[in-house]
Amino acid sequence: MARNTQVTADTAAPPVTSILARFVSSHPSRGWSDAVEREAHRTFYNWLGCAIGAAHHEAADAALSAVQLLEPAPQASVLGRRDKVDMGSAALVNGITSHTFDFDDTHLKTIIHPAGPVASAILALGERNGSSGRDLLDALVLGIDVACRIGNVMYPDHYDRGWHITGSTGMLGAAAGCARLLRLDEQQTAMALGIAASQPVGLREQFGTMTKPFHPGGAARAGLMSALLASKGFTASPRALEAPRGFVQVASDKRAWHEVTDELGQRFEISFNTYKPFACGIVIHPSIDACVQLKDKGVTPDQVERIELRVHSLVLELTGKKAPKDGLEAKFSVYHGCALGLMYGHAGEEEFSDAVVRDPRVIELRDKVRATVDDSIDEAAVHVAAVLKDGRRIEVQVEHAIGSMNNPLSNAQLEAKFHALVHPVLGQAKASEITHACWDLAALPDLRSLTALCRP
Amino acid sequence: MARNTQVTADTAAPPVTSILARFVSSHPSRGWSDAVEREAHRTFYNWLGCAIGAAHHEAADAALSAVQLLEPAPQASVLGRRDKVDMGSAALVNGITSHTFDFDDTHLKTIIHPAGPVASAILALGERNGSSGRDLLDALVLGIDVACRIGNVMYPDHYDRGWHITGSTGMLGAAAGCARLLRLDEQQTAMALGIAASQPVGLREQFGTMTKPFHPGGAARAGLMSALLASKGFTASPRALEAPRGFVQVASDKRAWHEVTDELGQRFEISFNTYKPFACGIVIHPSIDACVQLKDKGVTPDQVERIELRVHSLVLELTGKKAPKDGLEAKFSVYHGCALGLMYGHAGEEEFSDAVVRDPRVIELRDKVRATVDDSIDEAAVHVAAVLKDGRRIEVQVEHAIGSMNNPLSNAQLEAKFHALVHPVLGQAKASEITHACWDLAALPDLRSLTALCRP
């Protein structure tokens, strides 16, 4: 049986596993600009609010119930709950909750939600080991750099073929962050990345189910365990990322290796991180923003004959659910998003409740939305026209939705988002205390004082 | 940005996730022939010997040290050691040890080593829950059927692109087996398969490192956790295997869906399982067998000028290491295998020790082996010629190596292999007791009496 074993193997790839291992193990603490340091704080804070906010979601309950079958040692906190579990399980559950509302951060160049896998892993490990806030921030910046740079190498091909890139690069970011936090040397860090390379977690087919948020959680756990294994001498290929049968070539036909090395240590991918104002898939945001603007122009639901959207094909591919059955599915419905924008002027987690999704007034408005594919429009943009019953046509073009790189949330807006998520779980006093601790994270001597605040 | 999102999507795939879930949850206990039942016993017994045999390998020490950082509850046994750990970690570590010597079973149609992921998961769960031997055997047959049928769907393309198929189908077999053992219904079984589908574990680049045996261990753990999550109501796509963005289409261009349904419930893939006589990569076995035959014909190392091999290209691709540095690498050296066959007449784990690999007499003989690719020869065959210093040329053609489907190990040979592996770890008395328990597994009321025998 003769057969073609791999037509597109690239045998001349640079040693990116080693390059990243050296970078992660040797880059100086806080070796970046104030802007990068600020974004690290914002990334962590936004992630923490999302994780606490979903602490009692049914996905969290189910995951925690399964984990408790292992009778885990109380090493690390399940954020927003009284439970403590082993650090691997904490990484898993906090990774799940942080992504459950689809309200977390986005590295727009790759659609990676980088904090989920990385922060979930390093906070669990750091709490267990009593690490400092400074060490956590270093691990966060470096871990996210690794995940997003590998994402840059493979995006869009890797994503297009069906990988949920958050979990299929996140295990590398989590491994890198945990290796840094454990102060592994270059060699052991390469092994941690290598072990993690065998464990991508995530398929796009899972969108709309609990397994979507499982992906960053599973990647967090896999990366953490990879670093622990490496710290005990477990071995992997030192070319696990770049070899012809290594992760990148197995999982992507695009292999832009230069993305690993371009300005490494000078440009940090966390600089390009963004935070969602709306609790749903990022590609819906321009449409919601546009419908909020229609509302601001005085358009009301009862005036509307129909809403016409022109969007990139990816928007409908990812979020084309016309009749979502529940809140989870509604996060992947651009039609529902438009209805929320026009009806409420915002789209937080409450607006993705099953009750709102099944509200006849929302359904009526949702059914008036027509979407047309136009690939001359950017994925992050939208053209919306409201055709009114009186014959008027009111148009809105959104090039940079609120929350995007060009129109980012302010710290005050992030705080408002955090408080809305955390109040129902921990109350206002703790939400404020956590907020202060997070903005001052670089000076925190021991992460356990922070995680203690995250318990009811 | 216009782009091709997936050229080869198959939107008409049959609902194989549901089909397999129904099969696993509803097929009658012991609903197969005596021959299948016999192979289930042989598969389990062979796997157990491999796992116990490697209990003190440095890979086991490293993995267990890492796992112990989680302070695991003593739920399930690390086979061949005194340690007990949580059932997820037991699945991981036993999966690692069972594959560490590369001495375990092989489903030759796909080169899947199916017991590693499946048996490691179901024994850990079954020990924890006090399941019977009968229930374990049912879970083993059905779990292996799921993993190998999905392997048949994707092989060879999936393997050729670089996936270590044992771990990238094994999570499905482990999930299926654990779902069966937990008596999950069809719906929950589909969710278990769906959650597992997002967690393939394994890259061929890792061959020759500890991460190779990590793959079945990681897949065992992932499958077990997927079943536990499903049992608590965690959800996944009910089309996670077959959808355009589901596992099979993401990970393979070959999608022979009929392999799932052909004679489902009548033909069992465990029937095609084989057991290795030699402690190394399966594609080397014909070459070792041929060199053993040369020895039997009276050829001695000092007579040899050179050994000429003609093999399929895959043999050199997988096992072309000319100068292996240590025992692990030697398992991927057809050159080393030939030297062992001619020098010792066998090639057990001892012959892959670092000492033997560095023995100057072995190196001298290894260096006399020349390999030529000939893709008209089957992957499972070899042509070997010994060219002697006196000018004679002695040829051996092996079509069906010992241990292959057409030339299987007898139960007595399996026992000899088991005892050689287990004596150094547990002694002869326990090895004999375990042997009796395994041949009588269908009648065992509680697996804990078996796992107790596997502790020193």
**Contacts of residue B313 in chain A, CB cutoff 8 Å?**
2, 5
Is A108's pLDDT higher than 80?
A: yes
Is A80's pLDDT higher than 80?
A: yes
Nearest chain A Cα to B171, which residue?
A199
Mutate to test the interface with A, among B100, B203, B226, B231 (most CBs of A within 10 A): B203
Write out residues 240-279 of B within 8 Å (CB-CB) of A: 240, 243-247, 249-250
- Contact: B201, A198; criterion CB under 8 Å: yes
Residue A227 confidence (pLDDT): 98
CA angle, B324 as apex, B322 and B327 as ends, to 5°? Answer: 145
**Contacts of residue A208 in chain B, CB cutoff 8 Å?**
237
- Contact: B245, A162; criterion CB under 8 Å: yes
Is A6's pLDDT higher than 50?
A: no
Is B2's pLDDT higher than 80?
A: no
Q: Is A35 on the interface with B (CB under 8 A)?
A: no
Nearest chain A Cα to B251, which residue?
A251
Mutate to test the interface with A, among B3, B70, B128 (most CBs of A within 10 A): B70
For residue range B310-334, list pLDDT tens digits in order: 999 999 998 999 999 998 889 889 9
- Contact: A232, B1; criterion CB under 8 Å: no
Q: Report the pLDDT averaged over residues B12-22.
A: 97
**Contacts of residue A179 in chain B, CB cutoff 8 Å?**
none
Whole-model pTM? 0.92
- Contact: A244, B205; criterion CB under 8 Å: yes
How near does any CA of chain A get to the CA of B205, in Å? 5
Residue B282 confidence (pLDDT): 83
Residues 6+ apart with CB under 8 A from A425: A52, A53, A55, A56, A80, A456
**Contacts of residue B90 in chain A, CB cutoff 8 Å?**
none
Q: Is A391 on the interface with B (CB under 8 A)?
A: no
Write out residues 295-354 of B within 8 Å (CB-CB) of A: 312-314, 317
3-state secondary structure chain A: CCCCCCCCCCCCCCCHHHHHHHHHHHCCCCCCCHHHHHHHHHHHHHHHHHHHHCCCCHHHHHHHHHHHCCCCCCCEECCCCCCEECHHHHHHHHHHHHHHCCCCEEECCCCECCHHHHHHHHHHHHHHHCCCHHHHHHHHHHHHHHHHHHHHHHCCHHHHCCECHHHHHHHHHHHHHHHHHCCCCHHHHHHHHHHHHCCCCCEHHHCCCCHHHHHHHHHHHHHHHHHHHHHCCCCCCCCCCCCCCCHHHHHCCCCCCHHHHCCECCECHHHHEEECCCCCCHHHHHHHHHHHHHHHCCCCHHHEEEEEEEECHHHHHHHECCCCCCHHHHCCEHHHHHHHHHHHCCCCHHHHCHHHHCCHHHHHHHCCEEEEECCCCCCCCEEEEEEECCCCEEEEEECCCCCCCCCCCCHHHHHHHHHHHHHHHHHHHHHHHHHHHHHCHHHCCCCHHHHHHCCC
- Contact: B205, A379; criterion CB under 8 Å: no
Amino acid letter at A25? Answer: S
Residue A349 confidence (pLDDT): 85
Q: Is A286 on the interface with B (CB under 8 A)?
A: no
- Contact: A250, B162; criterion CB under 8 Å: yes
Nearest chain B Cα to A61, which residue?
B232
Q: Is A48 on the interface with B (CB under 8 A)?
A: no
For residue range A15-39, list pLDDT tens digits in order: 999 999 999 999 999 999 999 999 9
Q: Which of A148, A83, A77, A90 has its CA nearest to residue A121?
A: A90
Q: Report the pLDDT averaged over residues B18-23.
A: 98
For residue range B332-383, list pLDDT tens digits in order: 899 999 999 999 998 988 899 999 999 999 999 999 999 999 999 998 899 9
pLDDT over 90 percentage in chain A: 92
- Contact: B198, A194; criterion CB under 8 Å: no
User: Mean pLDDT for chain B?
Assistant: 95
Q: In which band, very low, low, confident or very high, does the pLDDT at B10 lie, cut at 50, 70 and 90?
A: confident
Nearest chain B Cα to A76, which residue?
B70
How near does any CA of chain A get to the CA of B261, in Å? 22
- Contact: A75, B73; criterion CB under 8 Å: no
Residue B346 confidence (pLDDT): 86
How near does any CA of chain B get to the CA of A236, in Å? 5
Q: Is B71 on the interface with A (CB under 8 A)?
A: yes
- Contact: B313, A375; criterion CB under 8 Å: no
What ipTM does this complex have? 0.92
User: Mean pLDDT for chain A?
Assistant: 95
Domains and CATH numbers, chain B: 16-276+426-453 (1.10.4100.10), 282-398 (3.30.1330.120)
**In this complex, which of B66, B229, B249 lies closest to A229 when CB atoms are compared?**
B66
Strands B369-373 and B304-311 come out as parallel
Residue by residue, DSSP assigns B386-437 as: EEETTS-EEEEEESS-TTSTTSPPPHHHHHHHHHHHHHHHHHHHHHHHHHHH
Residue A1 confidence (pLDDT): 33
**Contacts of residue B75 in chain A, CB cutoff 8 Å?**
70-71
Is A171's pLDDT higher than 50?
A: yes
- Contact: A71, B71; criterion CB under 8 Å: no
Question: With contact defined as beta carbons under 8 Å apart, do A6 and B317 qualify?
Answer: no
Is A253's pLDDT higher than 90?
A: yes
Q: Is B11 on the interface with A (CB under 8 A)?
A: no
Is B304's pLDDT higher than 70?
A: yes
* CA B264/CA B23 separation, integer angstroms: 8
Residue B101 confidence (pLDDT): 92
- Contact: A249, B3; criterion CB under 8 Å: no
Residue B161 confidence (pLDDT): 94
Nearest chain A Cα to B163, which residue?
A250
Q: Is A202 on the interface with B (CB under 8 A)?
A: yes
**In this complex, which of B156, B206, B236 lies closest to A211 when CB atoms are compared?**
B236
- Contact: A203, B228; criterion CB under 8 Å: no
**Contacts of residue B160 in chain A, CB cutoff 8 Å?**
3-6
Q: Is A8 on the interface with B (CB under 8 A)?
A: no
How near does any CA of chain B get to the CA of A73, in Å? 6
Q: Report the pLDDT averaged over residues B261-268.
A: 98
For residue range A287-335, list pLDDT tens digits in order: 999 999 999 999 999 999 999 999 999 999 989 999 999 988 898 899 9
- Contact: B237, A206; criterion CB under 8 Å: yes
Residue B6 confidence (pLDDT): 47
- Contact: A375, B87; criterion CB under 8 Å: no
pLDDT over 70 percentage in chain B: 98
Residue A379 confidence (pLDDT): 87
Mutate to test the interface with A, among B65, B234, B254 (most CBs of A within 10 A): B234
**In this complex, which of A69, A245, A375 lies closest to B162 when CB atoms are compared?**
A245
CB-neighbour burial class of residue B355 (10 A; exposed 0-12, middle 13-18, buried 19+)? exposed
Residue B330 confidence (pLDDT): 93
- Residue in this structure with the two tokens 């959800």, named with its chain if needed: B235
CB-neighbour burial class of residue B130 (10 A; exposed 0-12, middle 13-18, buried 19+)? exposed
Residue B208 confidence (pLDDT): 87
Rama region for B162: left / alpha / beta (φ>0; ψ in -120 to 50; rest): left
Nearest chain A Cα to B214, which residue?
A195
- Contact: B164, A198; criterion CB under 8 Å: yes
Q: Is A69 on the interface with B (CB under 8 A)?
A: yes
Q: Report the pLDDT averaged over residues A229-250.
A: 98
Q: Is B175 on the interface with A (CB under 8 A)?
A: no
Write out residues 84-113 of B within 8 Å (CB-CB) of A: 86-88
Is A11's pLDDT higher than 90?
A: no
**In this complex, which of B62, B160, B198 lies closest to A202 when CB atoms are compared?**
B198
φ, ψ for residue A76, nearest 5 deg: -150, 155
Q: In which band, very low, low, confident or very high, does the pLDDT at A424 lie, cut at 50, 70 and 90?
A: very high
Mutate to test the interface with B, among A203, A204, A215 (most CBs of B within 10 A): A203
How near does any CA of chain A get to the CA of B85, in Å? 9
* CA B234/CA A66 separation, integer angstroms: 9
**Contacts of residue A197 in chain B, CB cutoff 8 Å?**
203, 205
How near does any CA of chain A get to the CA of B449, in Å? 21
Is A400's pLDDT higher than 80?
A: yes
